[in-house]
Structure 1
């Protein structure tokens, strides 16, 4: 379960497009930040995506990606032209294709590599969707199949794109929008594939165009409610609307940390914007990476590269400045040398006494992050200065994290989480080969 949100320049504090996303996947499904340079490719080249080969483009743009370690595609990313995309799993009455095809994450990366604007990226995705289809297993340890929605933005415009198999509809965003794990488009859109309405009519879900509503006609009746997407979308849209005219990158980071239904260990059902895994088949999803972006002449991308933004910190990255050193690429097995798993030492300690342990460093974290935002705004246009600042912020965040870990380890958990919650996390830890740091 994920959430992606956008605020267009008309409603932001500085007139710049804002974008943000939490990527929710299995708790041990580490995500890696990668930067892929622009490249030219010989005629007739083939590209291997996660499961299938397709013809390679003559030229691909430089991209910055946050991707599950095991797949070619990405959950969220940006390119050198200031285009950003996030995707969401959506569930339809039409069963998703289980045969290998393009994953939604593959389509996201292809849109970034081949689209120099938001609308061009949208065209890339929809053309490839119609040609090759979407499908294949999207899960790491548990088979998981779904359709996809996308939020695509550049400095000037943003689009919501929702798909059902090879069918799709897209609507331009004015103001604020968010997508979760449910269809949001109704009877209005700006572009759509042939057959979108006709298919619903043939299946008896609508009488005609006047009666057609995409969400009502196509959304399934089980997984969509279980994803809690309507409540999460209401939370993010409400938060965006409440700050309309004052929205900043820091606002987007704060929304990604939202907990609308209590602490991480509550219940067997439900989901939050900042998602924590728990006990049961519905609670096996965890926010494993987060991203916020401010798009303009020099887009700045605020990334965690780690799980649970409520326990972590965002640091800045610029496309033309390169990535700082995040250590070796992570896998599903614990590795203290990787950035993702080093944060897990703190994150998993906090979960066992959430309120008290997060309280030991949350104020310091917020102050440090605010300082990063201030320094990023003042750094100027020199790419070498931005490169130095990006590396310095990451180093300072990592040093602070070690201090916070020591403080958390000294904080007794006055209210231990439920037995079922502790049992679930003991299982996740065993699967990762996790050994608690002393």
Structure 2
């Protein structure tokens, strides 16, 4: 379960497009930031994706990815040309293919590595989808997730939405603001589509005629789409974007990713709550959490990237980086499924999981400091937009060091506040912590 947003340049306060995404994945699935430089490849070479091999192209672009540790693909990312892509799991009456093929995350990464513009990326993904199909388990370590994919694809000047079901698809160019979640959003209007998309719905009896076709209405399933609350979360993000339209800022995008519907939010109070900023809990509905968050300022030059590199944006700090400084990142060992104190991702989990033990009171101890530190990072990174790569790289390292020190201090504050443990929530997190070999959380 994820949420992906775009504010086109005409919708922002300074006429610069902004992309944002929360990646919601299993709690113990480490997700890390990876930089892959541009490369040349031998003619006729092959590329091993997560499950299958496909032909490699002769040249791939440099990419910065946020990716689960075990797969080739990525949940979200940006390339050297300022192209960004985020994907969503969507669920259909058409069963998702369980046979290993391309994951949605594989197609996302391929789009970033092989395309320069959003429209080119749409075509890259369509071509791969039609030739190799999508399918296979999208989870690891004994868990299972099978789904179709939608993609929000953007750069400084253009945004496309691509929604797929098996090897069928439809795409539409987007203006102003838009958000996608775990549900189809296209109706009967789109710019391009696969030849059998509408015909298949008519043949299945899901719609009486092509003239009445509605993609979301005809192809959506009932159970996963409704219980995953994709439509509810999308309604929330759309409303928040519409309210800010014409004045969307980096801070407001980050605020949307941190959104909880209830100002007195407590993740221990329900087994069914699934907010934009998602925290795992008891039961199958709450098996995911926001394991990474990304916001990208798309000015048409070098994209200014803000990533948490850690889970739960409400407990995390967005740190700035640029493509040409990404090699300066030192996040420790790539996080896997087991706790590692040297990993930036897992070190933060101590703070995140401790905060959940009394969220209403514990988040108050550092939310204000989080916002102030982040504000400083944003102001200085924007000031450094035209500075040398060396100067920006030094600032990147400084930001990550300051964030790590701040989180260590916040953990002490949090643990000074009494924990409040409710039975079902404790059962869930005791299980998560045991599987990850997390040290005791107080």
* Alignment deviations for residues 30-62 of structure 1 (CA, whole Å, 9 cap, x no partner): 101100000000011000000000000110000
Paired residue for 2:215?
214
Q: Distance in 1 between matches of 2:228 and 2:385?
A: 42
Aligned-residue offset at 1:437: 6.3
Paired residue for 1:412?
418
Structure 1 length as normaliser, TM-score?
Answer: 0.98
Q: Distance in 1 between matches of 2:311 and 2:85?
A: 19
Alignment of 1:339-358 (within 5 A): 339-358=344-363
Paired residue for 2:150?
149
Paired residue for 2:370?
365
* Alignment deviations for residues 397-435 of structure 1 (CA, whole Å, 9 cap, x no partner): 11111111111111223xx24210011000000000111
Q: Distance in 1 between matches of 2:97 and 2:269?
A: 34
Aligned-residue offset at 1:266: 2.8
Aligned-residue offset at 1:97: 0.6
Aligned-residue offset at 1:264: 1.5
Q: Distance in 2 between matches of 1:166 and 1:384?
A: 45
Number of equivalences:
436
Aligned-residue offset at 1:227: 0.7
Q: Distance in 2 between matches of 1:380 and 1:190?
A: 36
Q: Secondary structure at the match of 1:207?
A: coil
Q: Secondary structure at the match of 1:151?
A: strand
Q: Distance in 2 between matches of 1:327 and 1:175?
A: 39
* Alignment deviations for residues 212-256 of structure 1 (CA, whole Å, 9 cap, x no partner): 000010000111001101110011011111111111111111100
Paired residue for 1:280?
283
Q: Distance in 2 between matches of 1:208 and 1:93?
A: 18
Contact 2:354 2:441 in 1 (8 A): no
Paired residue for 2:269?
266
Paired residue for 2:10?
10
Q: Distance in 2 between matches of 1:80 and 1:403?
A: 35
Q: Distance in 2 between matches of 1:420 and 1:362?
A: 26
- Give 5+ residue unaligned stretches, structure 1: none
Q: Distance in 2 between matches of 1:150 and 1:417?
A: 38
Q: Secondary structure at the match of 2:313?
A: coil
Q: Distance in 1 between matches of 2:26 and 2:225?
A: 18
Q: Secondary structure at the match of 1:353?
A: helix
CA RMSD of aligned residues (A): 1.0
Alignment of 1:195-234 (within 5 A): 195-234=196-235
Displacement over 2 Å in runs of 4+: none
Q: Distance in 1 between matches of 2:368 and 2:421?
A: 23
Q: Secondary structure at the match of 2:315?
A: coil
Q: Distance in 2 between matches of 1:24 and 1:417?
A: 24
- Give 5+ residue unaligned stretches, structure 2: none
Aligned-residue offset at 1:139: 1.1
